[in-house]
Amino acid sequence: MKKIALLVFSTLFLFSKCDQSKQEKKAQINSEKYSIEDESKGIQTDTLLTKKITSKIPKSEEFPIKILNATLLKNSYSHHKDIKITYKNLSSKSIKAIKLNWFCLNAFEEPASGNYFYGEGNFKGNIIDLIKPGQTKSEIWEDFSTDADKIIHVTVYYIVYNDGTKWKLQKDKTAL
């Protein structure tokens, strides 16, 4: 009888400790999420650079997606980082697919390593989701980098509209 009581109490003790550590980990994960740039400016880091970009892209018709925010997230189950990109459809058409890339630096101001220690700061992502005109959405790419510390820029370079037409970034234009 003593053995059964000891077994029951030790099991309850272990389960209560497991539940507490899960709650502590969730709290730690929530506190470790951080935004790389000021949300009011999106991911723009230099006002001079921002002015150049704005002057190169005068109309929203020429650039149908606006990147509102890019955030690095600390991963809960590995040392790899996730990236969350928030974007808005500025065009008058529904979009069904987007190709984009982003460039990150590590703490030493060198190009960040990728998931398998390659990538040299450049990373690509695809979004295949219906985005209606004026709609804002977010997408998360998990485990994209091992040492990314700062997002330098995010560029949308190819869009497929719902009606089948396509938009491609011209080489002389750059966007954050």
- How confident is the model over 11-63, as pLDDT tens digits? 666 666 554 444 444 443 333 333 333 333 333 333 333 333 333 333 444 78
How many CB atoms neighbour CB 102 within 10 A? 25
Q: Which domain holds residue 106?
A: 34-168
Domain presence at residue 63: yes
Name the nearest CA neighbour of 176 among 93, 69, 71: 69
Task: Tell me how many domains the chain contains.
Answer: 2
Residue 146 pLDDT = 83
Q: What is the CATH number of the domain that holds 164?
A: 2.60.40
Both 54 and 102 in one domain: the answer is yes
DSSP 8-state symbol, 113: P
Determine the distance from the C-alpha atom of residue 167 to the mean position of all C-alpha atoms in its chain, rounded to a whole number: 22
Distance of alpha carbon 131 from alpha carbon 96, whole angstroms: 6
Both 16 and 55 in one domain: the answer is no
Using one digit for the tens of pLDDT, what is the confidence trace for 74-96? 877 888 889 999 999 999 999 99
Encoded amino acid at 135, one letter: Q
